[in-house]
Amino acid sequence: MTAPLTVSLPDAKAVKDMLSGLVGKPVGVTPGAPVTPTERDPVSVAVYVGPSMAVNALCVLDLPLSAWTGGALALLPPGGVRDAVEEDGELTAMLAEALHEVVNVLSALFNVPGAPHSKLYRLYVPGEDLPGDVAGMLAAFHRLDLAVDVPGYGRGRLSLVVP
């Protein structure tokens, strides 16, 4: 019998290279603290599924990084993106749409030889309620926690989680 295919975590360099290519700027990536949702620290959660539609990975971004990556991809002025985060405490519809594209592209980080194909199933933006099973997975031990600096926008946090 062969072991079932599992998703593994990418390394920090793969995340750096993917984000840098996506936003067209050299993104800084260093080890960081785990991203977990709290009332004072809302997060975006991208849910990835395999061929059987079972959840096989999560990408969790704090509100600032959700905005910075979406804004950088959409080429939005940093000042306006900062205002959305600092004054409104939420993503605009345009930022949410751009973030959806960011996390969709990030699914490629999990699609490596020998792993089941992962695809974006759903993006929960800051303020949306997470289903219990997804919220429970956020505490998984198999994770990569990073601090990310998007030039011209700012720093934020990202966690990749696999069961």
DSSP string covering the chain, please? -PPPP---PPPHHHHHHHHHHHHTS--EEEE-PPP---SSS-EEEEEEE-TTS-EEEEEEEEHHHHHHHHHHHTT--HHHHHHIIIII-S--HHHHHHHHHHHHHHGGGG--TTS---EEEEEEPTTSPPPHHHHHHTT-SEEEEEEEEETTTEEEEEEEEE-
Q: Name the percent of the chain lying above pLDDT 90.
A: 75
Where exactly are the structural domains of the chain?
A: 12-162
pLDDT of res. 5: 60
What pTM was computed for the model?
0.93
pLDDT for 144-153, tens place per residue? 999 999 999 9
pLDDT for 16-28, tens place per residue? 999 999 999 999 9
Superfamily, domain 12-162: CheC-like (3.40.1550.10)
pLDDT for 41-78, tens place per residue? 899 999 999 999 999 999 999 999 999 999 999 999 99
